[in-house]
Chains A and B, each alone.
Chain A
Amino acid sequence: MSASTPFALLANATSMPWAEVPAWPVAGFIDATAAELSRGARLCAMFGVPAGAGVQLVAVLAFDTDSILAVGSSTPCSGTFPSLTARHAQAHLFEREIWEQHGLTPDGHPWLKPVRRTAGNAPANGEFFRVAGGEIHEVAVGPVHAGIIEPGHFRFQCAGEEVLHLEIALGYQHRGIEEALSGGPHRATLIQMETIAGDTTLAHATAHATLMEALAASEAPLRAQWLRAIALELERLANHTGDLGALANDVAFLPTASACGKLRGDFLNLTSLLCGNRFGRGLVQPGGCRHDLEPARAAEMLDRLAPVLADTAQAIGWLWDSASVRARFENVGTVSAAQASEIGLVGPAARACGLVRDVRYDHASGWHRFAQAPVTVWPGGDVFARARVRSLEIQRCGEFLGEQLKAPPAGGLRGELAPAAPTRWPWRSSRAGGAKCATWP
């Protein structure tokens, strides 16, 4: 199927010369993208690249079953372009960002408003969606709200106890990472990547390192790739455990909520055993890894992993055993498989809707080309399914770590990284947003 596409094909974690990316006039480009999406492709990214006075639009598509990515672009354009969102909802956020960053207006976008732009200290959200009717009440929460997560403004449209619509305005806090990255990579780039989100340090650092390696047309040594895979799975374990604890907390189920808080710390401590930092800072660098896992420490990690996994399984088991929890999880917040693919869901959220979508499997890069955990899918799309997917992934993740820690590949940790060729796609020196496209963690 993908063989007949007019788009240029590219595997995950590789690069191609910018000149080889096909370009069409903008209307034709949107039509071609829509045609590919209609026959099953998924929109990974869509963004603008300044070219002279105009802007070139670029779309990255994923053919998950063929394990291949496809790239296409428009010729430089300005003013307006026909909106893709009207035909494929998954493009809506990308088009809003293009409008915000480059001033190109997607003609026919149903709900055009800024993504990150601020007005004063608040996000420039503009109009909130309103449901009309005398019975409807609008509830505004935030930006100062009862959580310790970041400030955000939430508008609920409620009819009695039924929430009809929620609109979220984020972006009250800015560290300016995006601006700081431009013109890079410079000495701080890796550290900035690691601090984008504290609990996703390793994933972002690995994405950045893989991108740099792809641009240099090289690869980290196998042992470094193995280490990254182990660190990434530890990060997954910590986050899934934390998420399940948060789910339990939200329905006021204390046993799992308390246990998971502690167990997440245990997983973070295992990451600390690996590299000296609980969140894995400083482990990954372009070209390899900074710390090795000697056989003695690998054995210690295996020893410490087993009881933590057993405790986690028990704590999560309480969730399934408790009728009051299941009553709160089942048939709540259901996303159908059709909706999930329409809005382009990925990750555990997509897998909980029954979509077989796992980048470690569909677009394997690094160590996952050689060692794979089975893709965890649960049908249903409700909160229960999302909890189940996480709990099953914890099991499979544990098995994966158990196997991998016993069979380390030999070799060095760091390779030489040739300087990146500036004309190769997808690196864009002006804007760092494109850095996401080469690898898709």
Chain B
Amino acid sequence: MNSILDLILRLDCWLLLAPLLPGIINKVKAWVAGRRGPPVLQLYYDLARLWKKGVVMSTLASPAFVVLPAVTWVAVLGAAMLLPLGPLGAGLSFRGDALLLLYLLALGRFCTAWAAMETGSAFEGMGTVREVSYAVLAEAAMIAAVLSLSVQSGSISLAAMLAPAMGASAALLAAGLFIVLLAENCRVPFDDPATHLELTMIHEVMVLDHSGPPLAVILHGAAMKLLLFTVLLVQAVLPMAHLKPLLAAAVLAGGVLAVTVAVGLVESLLARFAFRRVPLLLTTAFLLCLFALLVAWKGGLP
């Protein structure tokens, strides 16, 4: 009974808090630019508005066009359930759940890409190609990061992997994971969530033909993914397993807020990269995670 209550509370937390992050990023951007900016709760209003709208379907699209965003959303939510929250542990935990987390994220991306191609638009095909080709590099970095956490802790269970302090490789991992976070969530310098220049969009163009509740699901899923990566980054760097639950929650919240503000600052102060320079940055992220792996592997030896 207790575990069911725990799961429900956990779900509520993820579902309700996720849309806060894009709001905070936009507020930071507005603050840097000297504007007032949209309210922090703007995404909640948008979701409520989209939920009430109808769905426009292309005559070419199959029902998968509506189903796939839901699959993506469930995959991301499932991945979130696997992620332990400090001393509270994960909603679901078993040996090898780190691999499931990676595969759930990949499944989410696969479904988004498939849904984007449903309408047969060349335009969305372009966005999909970009998303998937970035993902190849971002996933390599992500796997290297998970591997280094696993080598460090000698376990492939997230609960154990995220518990110990990372020591020397923490800084390398933090930098690498931050770049992966920016790439995976389509933030500047990889993608510009604010622009609507058709030919340069990546994530925005993939969801261009979606409307109404499916679009709301996509937007909410994207916010959850951002929260997931932020929580992962904070926990991979800050050891908090042995803190008291309330203190751990405060540290986690503070860490998430700091990362979110950092994303906002990057977005405010950096121009977006040209496509041909993106692989370079993602390779850098991969190398950072790889060196974190090397440090975790050989660092302990005399």
Contacts and interface: CB of A to CB of B under 8 A. Distances in A.
Q: Decide whether A and B assemble into one complex.
A: yes
Interface of A: 137-141, 145-147, 154, 156, 158, 160-161, 163, 248-255, 257-259, 262, 322, 324-325, 327-328, 332
Nearest to B124: A139
Given A255-B269, A258-B34, A325-B271, A250 B123 contact: no
Given A255-B32, A325-B271, A327-B274, A140 B199 contact: no
Most chain B Cβ neighbours within 10 Å, of A140, A146, A147: A146
A249 B195 contact: yes
A160 B34 CA distance: 38
Contacts of B192: 252
Given A252-B192, A252-B194, A140 B272 contact: no
Given A140-B122, A324-B189, A251 B199 contact: no
Given A139-B123, A140-B123, A145-B198, A254 B277 contact: no
A258 B31 CA distance: 11
A45 to B, nearest CB: 33
B198 A258 contact: no
B103 to A, nearest CB: 29
B268 interface: yes
B197 interface: yes
A376 to B, nearest CB: 24
A258 B33 contact: yes
12 contacts: A138-B122, A140-B123, A141-B198, A141-B199, A156-B199, A248-B271, A252-B270, A252-B272, A255-B33, A258-B35, A325-B271, A328-B273
A255 B123 CA distance: 30
B45 interface: no
Contacts of B271: 248, 251-253, 322, 324-325, 327-328
Contacts of B198: 139, 141, 145-146, 154
Contacts of B269: 254-255
Nearest to B33: A258
Interface residues of B, number: 31
A254 B29 contact: yes
Interface in B263-299: 267-277
With most chain A CB atoms within 10 A of its CB, the pick from B32, B130, B197, B275 is B197
B182 to A, nearest CB: 12
Interface string B154-176: 00000000000000000000000
A435 B189 CA distance: 47
Contacts of B33: 254-255, 257-259
Contacts of A258: 33-35
A258 B269 CA distance: 12
B52 interface: no
Nearest to B192: A252
Nearest to B195: A252
Interface of B is mostly: helix
Nearest to B198: A141
Interface in B163-211: 188-189, 192, 194-199
Contacts of A322: 270-271
Interface string B109-135: 000000000000011011001100000
Contacts of B268: 254-255
Contact of B273 (A137, A163, A327): A327
Contact of A137 (B122, B189, B267): B122
Given A137-B122, A139-B122, A250-B197, 19 more contacts: A137-B125, A139-B126, A139-B198, A147-B196, A147-B197, A158-B122, A160-B129, A161-B275, A248-B271, A251-B272, A253-B270, A254-B269, A255-B32, A257-B33, A258-B33, A262-B34, A322-B270, A325-B271, A332-B274
Nearest to B34: A258
A251 B275 CA distance: 12
Contacts of A138: 122
B199 A139 contact: yes
A392 B196 CA distance: 29
B126 A324 contact: no
Nearest to B187: A252
Nearest to B268: A254
Nearest to A161: B275
B196 A324 contact: no
A294 B299 CA distance: 77
Contacts of B130: 161
Interface string B129-151: 11000000000000000000000
B196 A146 contact: yes
Contacts of A156: 199
A16 to B, nearest CB: 47
Interface in B26-76: 29, 32-35
A250 B129 CA distance: 21
A40 to B, nearest CB: 37
Nearest to A251: B271
Contacts of A253: 270-272
Contacts of A259: 33-34
A253 B198 CA distance: 17
A250 B199 CA distance: 11
Sorted from nearest, which 9 A-B pairs have the closest CB atoms? A146-B196, A258-B33, A252-B192, A253-B271, A252-B272, A324-B271, A251-B271, A325-B271, A137-B122
B272 A327 contact: no
B24 to A, nearest CB: 16
Contacts of B35: 258
B98 to A, nearest CB: 33
Nearest to A146: B196
A112 to B, nearest CB: 27
A204 B168 CA distance: 66
Query: Taking each of B35, B189, B272, which has the highest tally of chain A beta carbons within 10 Å of its own beta carbon?
Result: B272
A328 B272 contact: yes
Given A139-B199, A250-B197, A158 B277 contact: no
Interface string B228-259: 00000000000000000000000000000000
A254 B272 CA distance: 10
Given A147-B196, A324-B273, A327-B273, A254 B32 contact: yes
A284 to B, nearest CB: 34
A75 B19 CA distance: 71
Contacts of B122: 137-140, 158
B227 to A, nearest CB: 23
Contacts of B34: 258-259, 262
Contacts of B189: 252, 324
A324 B125 contact: no
A325 B272 CA distance: 8
Contacts of B277: 327
